[in-house]
Amino acid sequence: MVRRLSVLDQSPVAAGSTGGDALRNSIDLARHTESLGYHRYWVAEHHGTPMLACAAPEVLIGPIGAATSTIRVGSGGVMLPHYSPLKVAETFSMLSGLYPDRIDLGLGRAPGSDPLTAFALQRDRRQAAPDDFPDQLTELLAYLHDALPPRHQFAKLSQLPGRPSMPDVWLLGSSPQSGVWAAELGLPYAFADFINPAGAGIVARYRDQLATAGNPLPRVIVCAWALCAATDAEAERLGASARMAFAKMLQGQSIAVPPVNEAVHFLAANGSAADALVRRRRWIVGAPDTVRAGLEALADEYGGAEELMIVTITHDHGARRRSYELIARAFGIA
């Protein structure tokens, strides 16, 4: 049974608006969804795209934390390979000190960008960055828990500025390996079904691995793409903007989120090709009863996930606000 609904915000940039508009919309949506009873509000990290504005979750988390009072706020996620573990630990320690018991640190391995942008983000470009995510993650957790061995070269560096508060650490993923790492470290796991709709087995293996190791009951969030409107037809129409933007992205032509009428015409002219591109993702779109049924079926597929995190992209910010409102009412949390 779904007990909690949360928000994953990618800060979409509508065609004709600016990145600043998108970031202010994120703060507005955080206030709105807090008033509706949503449990968490996570902001994503993406680079080098005109479609999504948040390149630095830690920058947006602060204003959202200041604009809200009860909802948990976090990263969905920080793409750790771009950063020093100490820098991430200090940043989220500061946020935890400012907003005690409200900060989540969701960590991911993916670059959140194309290879060229990922390379541009490197400080040292003389060679490719090492693929050492497990080592980075272990070091970061050691800083947060003040658990570096006394003889470790960085042992004196774990006096973090936000203590005694600290973030709740989650591992994000869409592949089997992320589930393995989360289980090995006993971390809660957020699975991106909106990226990989074949994740039920991955989450089941994560739960089994935790149980075998004798760890506490697992905490799992399933992240889903959903859009709700008054009718199925209206929701499908509003969803055209996201489908066109996603199809263009998969063709290597990233664009701002287009207006609905433009997207409808695009899909009519490129229907079969666009459908083939977007079919690899799961889209839960419709009126409140349709979306609730789809989300409950998704939770059941993932072994009774108790928390669903919803990502929604529309051209019109008001339509996105309304979608979260209708879903909250459909589940009775509003």
* Bigger pLDDT: 292 vs 122: 292
**Tens digit of pLDDT for each residue in 64-77?**
999 999 999 999 99
pLDDT computed for residue 78 by the predictor: 95
Residue 63 predicted with pLDDT over 80 = yes
In a domain, 144, yes or no: yes
What is the rounded average pLDDT of the residues 211-225?
Answer: 86
Cβ proximity of 74 and 103 under 8 Å: yes
Closest CA to 55 of 3, 100, 117: 117
Residue 111 predicted with pLDDT over 70 = no
Q: How many domains does the chain have?
A: 1
Structural domain for 173, as ranges: 4-231+288-331
Residue 126 predicted with pLDDT over 80 = no
Confidence bin at 272 (pLDDT 50/70/90):
confident
* Bigger pLDDT: 323 vs 109: 323
What is the rounded average pLDDT of the residues 248-265?
Answer: 94
In a domain, 122, yes or no: yes
Residues pairing with 173 in the sheet: 191
Residue 263 predicted with pLDDT over 70 = yes
What is the rounded average pLDDT of the residues 83-106?
Answer: 97
In a domain, 283, yes or no: no
Confidence bin at 131 (pLDDT 50/70/90):
confident
Count CB-CB contacts under 10 A for residue 321. Answer: 18
Percent of the chain with pLDDT over 70: 98
Percent of the chain with pLDDT over 90: 77
What is the rounded average pLDDT of the residues 168-186?
Answer: 95
In a domain, 251, yes or no: no
pLDDT computed for residue 213 by the predictor: 76
Give the C-alpha distances (Å, rounded to integers) separating 262 from 100, 142, 257, 325: 45, 50, 10, 26
Lowest mean pLDDT across 52-56, 210-214, 272-276: 272-276
In a domain, 110, yes or no: yes
pLDDT computed for residue 216 by the predictor: 67
In a domain, 10, yes or no: yes
pLDDT computed for residue 144 by the predictor: 95
* Bigger pLDDT: 48 vs 288: 288
pTM summary value:
0.94
In a domain, 145, yes or no: yes
Domain CATH number, residue 65? 3.20.20.30
Residue 113 predicted with pLDDT over 70 = no
Confidence bin at 250 (pLDDT 50/70/90):
confident
Residue 276 predicted with pLDDT over 80 = no
* Bigger pLDDT: 117 vs 177: 177
